[in-house]
A and B are shown apart, each in its own frame.
Chain A
Amino acid sequence: MVDTPPLSAPNPTAALVPALMGGSAVYLSGEDALKVTVFNALTSVVVRLTGRFLPVDSARVQVFARDLTPTTDRAASTLILPLGEGWLLDAGLIVSTGAPQVGQTFGVVSVQRGVGGAALELATLVQGYLTQHMRRAWPAAPLASSLDGPGALRSITGTDPAAGVEIAETVPLRARWRVIALQATYVAGIAVANRSPRLIYDDGATAFCTSPTESPIVASETRLCVSSDASAVVVALDGIGAWWMPGQHRLSASARIRTVTTNLQAADNWSAPQLLVEEWIEV
């Protein structure tokens, strides 16, 4: 059997492999580059890549630092950094501008060979959520999933629907939510009818959880409809009514939280819903 030669032979005069505490340096052939990929949900965030590199045939360690301003729609933003031939000693990501919570800015550093559409990702060095004080660094930090650990707690004001229109909030693309609480005010018009608003979770098309209210809303009544992770049904008092909401449901992108009101009248008006959610980026 004929041995297949390597695609690119290492420099025969390369320095001895540097010794690192807790790991070993990564050899980069000169055709390799670092690729930074950031998924971000918060405005005004800048992510900084830093690290040290020892070029082959050199005893002087080089320091590198590059900034990436990611988009704010949780889509991938990338930065490619060629380093030449030598040894990567360490690399890390941190938020240099902005103050995201854990769950809002997720970074990946990988070794890539080639550029453009023909590039091949060879190894992942760094993967995890970043904040302005929490760095993810190789070789120290383990790789983390974007769905691991706690998410970002967010208080969200949804769309204020027009009169006669139901509430409908959609989990954004590349996000995963756990809805902790929700409330909205229903102002009934003067038309005589018994309104019964239901809270519904669906997957974007088909409902999988429906919660009714305990008593109908009558003409000219204003009721604050609230929902949290509670199983008790509360009788309407002081203009407050309750929906039961299962707090452990995780909702993927395009899932919806919406109301369906029996006997909804054209002049009835929902307020903008206020939601408390725990959010992760779904990579």
Chain B
Amino acid sequence: MRWQCVTCAGIYDDVGPDGVRYFHACPPLRRVLLLAPGGQTVVADHAVAVDLVDDGTGKKTIVRTFTPPLPPGHTFVGETTIARPNRRDENVAGVDDQGRPVIKAPGGGVVVVP
């Protein structure tokens, strides 16, 4: 049966053509790592547009444009990922007191895709 995850809108079949179950897990969200003026590293949500700009001498420089702009005094360190809020993970972590399987994270649930 085909399902759509309510949290990430991904679509998948719960059993593959080879007869093995598929356990959907929502993809993580991308975030940027910033160095704050106080020296601490913070995780922030900024879209990053990356361009290679020729400086006219044949040398190319990576130029990043952030949306929204970075706070004053903050510098870009790198990128990271965070778990998606209300993520779904269908891997079976154990059973309840009645022996029924319990998945790791139900998230927002799923809907059947006709």
Q: Which residues of A contact B (CB under 8 A)?
A: 41-44, 71-73, 75, 98, 104, 154-162, 165-168, 170, 172-173, 193-194, 196, 253-254, 258, 260, 262-263, 272
Residues of A within 8 A of B19 (CB): 42-44, 98
Residues of A within 8 A of B93 (CB): 173
Q: B44 in the interface, Cβ–Cβ < 8 Å? A: no
Which listed residue (B11, B16, B21, B79) contacts A160, Cβ 8 A?
B11
A44: nearest residue on chain B (CB-CB)?
A: B19
Which listed residue (B20, B50, B91) contacts A170, Cβ 8 A?
B91
Complex Cα distance A272/B12, Å?
8
User: Does A72 contact B13, Cβ atoms closer than 8 Å?
Assistant: no
Residues of B within 8 A of A159 (CB): 5, 10-12, 24, 27
User: Does A43 contact B12, Cβ atoms closer than 8 Å?
Assistant: no
Which listed residue (B10, B17, B28) contacts A162, Cβ 8 A?
B10
Interface of B is mostly: strand
Known A157-B13, A160-B11; judge A170-B25 contact (CB<8 A): yes
Complex Cα distance A154/B28, Å?
25
A98: nearest residue on chain B (CB-CB)?
A: B19
Q: Which 6 interchain pairs have the tightest Cβ spacing?
A: A168-B27, A162-B9, A159-B10, A73-B92, A170-B25, A173-B91
Complex Cα distance A262/B8, Å?
20
Complex Cα distance A163/B33, Å?
24
Which listed residue (A72, A104, A158, A165) contacts B8, Cβ 8 A?
A165
Which listed residue (B15, B30, B92) contacts A75, Cβ 8 A?
B92
Residue count of chain B within 8 Å CB distance of chain A: 33
Q: B54 in the interface, Cβ–Cβ < 8 Å? A: no
Complex Cα distance A196/B51, Å?
11
Q: Which residues of B contact A (CB under 8 A)?
A: 5, 8-13, 15-28, 30, 48-52, 79, 89, 91-93, 101
B26 to nearest A CB, angstroms?
8
Complex Cα distance A166/B52, Å?
23
User: Does A173 contact B8, Cβ atoms closer than 8 Å?
Assistant: no
B31 to nearest A CB, angstroms?
12
Which listed residue (B9, B13, B28, B48) contacts A168, Cβ 8 A?
B28
Name which of A44, A71, A165, A258 has the most chain B CB atoms within 10 A of its CB. Answer: A165
Name which of B27, B28, B49, B51 has the most chain A CB atoms within 10 A of its CB. Answer: B27
Complex Cα distance A262/B51, Å?
10
Which listed residue (B8, B24, B49, B92) contacts A193, Cβ 8 A?
B49
User: Does A166 contact B92, Cβ atoms closer than 8 Å?
Assistant: no
18 examples of A-B residue contacts, CB within 8 angstroms = A41-B21, A73-B91, A155-B18, A157-B12, A157-B13, A157-B17, A157-B22, A158-B12, A160-B11, A161-B9, A162-B9, A165-B9, A170-B23, A172-B23, A172-B91, A194-B51, A263-B48, A263-B49
B10: nearest residue on chain A (CB-CB)?
A: A159
Residues of A within 8 A of B48 (CB): 262-263
User: Does B9 contact A72, Cβ atoms closer than 8 Å?
Assistant: no
Residues of A within 8 A of B13 (CB): 157
Which listed residue (A43, A98, A170, A263) contacts B15, Cβ 8 A?
A43
Residues of B within 8 A of A193 (CB): 49
B112 to nearest A CB, angstroms?
15
Residues of A within 8 A of B51 (CB): 194
